[in-house]
Amino acid sequence: MSAGAARLAALLRAARRAVALTGAGISVPSGIPDFRTPLTGMWANVDPMEVAHIDVFTRAPERFWGFYGPRFALLRDKRPNGAHHALAELERRGLLAAVITQNIDGLHRQAGTPDPIEVHGSLAIASCPACGVREPREEVARRVEAAGDGVPRCGCGAALKPGVVLFGELLPEAALERAFRLAGEADLLVCVGSSLEVHPVAGLPGVTLAAGGRVALVTQGPTPYDADAAVKLDGDVEHELEAVMAALEPQGV
């Protein structure tokens, strides 16, 4: 067992209120590509910021859903990995108060985290901007396939909108407020699989540190908080968190 895993286990045991913050890196072992990675050659030269935009959804839903449709389909056979399960288990044991995530894949919920704070929304549902009806991911994927133009529609005829924050849209205020409040109250913020460069979550470790809390990093590659972190585990996120869970087990009698 690495010294880092033992150290993080000790920090979790000692913490009064630990909170986790996760990014794309936690879902890589589940086979989920980064949002910006083209899924097909067709989109290889398309900037997601241009097509995954609220204006494109409004004006050209076929083009918009040409980009999002494969993403809904892709999630169908994706499952949470050991890192998602480790965080859910920590919450069950009372060693973690909450999970804040940038991810839209819904895997924390699938792993059993009861109420993840999804600051960028989630692909778990799509909703109707006209009448508010919400449809689960499987049903959205079915309608994408059934529609001649690839646009899943509500019973009222309007195009369904993914439950994620699109470019050109504001982040959900309630989720953001919760995230910042949790970061300020945490005496340990465990950042998993995030380079902590995308705002607003990039600011959360600073909030914890300013309030006197500690920051732990479980991520590959540099982050702006490397120098301030109480511990950094920079191996594979799944293996690292499984090692932390092993370190939390009572030692043999």
Residues tagged active-site: 120
In the bound complex, what is the minimum distance in angstroms from residue 48's beta carbon to Zn ion? 26
Return the ∠ at Cα 15 (arms to 178 and 205), rounded to 5°. Answer: 45
- Asked if 184 and 98 count as a contact pair (C-beta separation under 8 A), the reply is no
In the bound complex, what is the minimum distance in angstroms from residue 131's beta carbon to Zn ion? 3
Q: What is the DSSP letter of 249?
A: S
Which has the closest alpha carbon to 160: 173, 175, 142, 186?
Answer: 142
Burial class from Cβ neighbours inside 10 Å (0-12, 13-18, 19+) for residue 242 reads middle
What residue type is assigned to position 120 of the chain? Answer: H
In the bound complex, what is the minimum distance in angstroms from residue 128's beta carbon to Zn ion? 3
In the bound complex, what is the minimum distance in angstroms from residue 132's beta carbon to Zn ion? 7
Among 154, 175, 218, 247, binds Zn ion (CB under 5 A): 154
- Asked if 189 and 11 count as a contact pair (C-beta separation under 8 A), the reply is no
Stretch 169-198: interaction string toward Zn ion, x if CB under 5 A? ------------------------------
Residues 6+ apart with CB under 8 A from 13: 95, 248
Which has the closest alpha carbon to 208: 110, 49, 100, 83?
Answer: 100
Size of the site for Zn ion (CB under 5 A): 6
Which has the closest alpha carbon to 106: 60, 146, 74, 144?
Answer: 74
Stretch 103-132: interaction string toward Zn ion, x if CB under 5 A? -------------------------x-xx-
The tokens for 104 are 């839209």
In the bound complex, what is the minimum distance in angstroms from residue 152's beta carbon to Zn ion? 11
The residue ranges that bind Zn ion (CB under 5 A) are 128, 130-131, 154, 156, 158
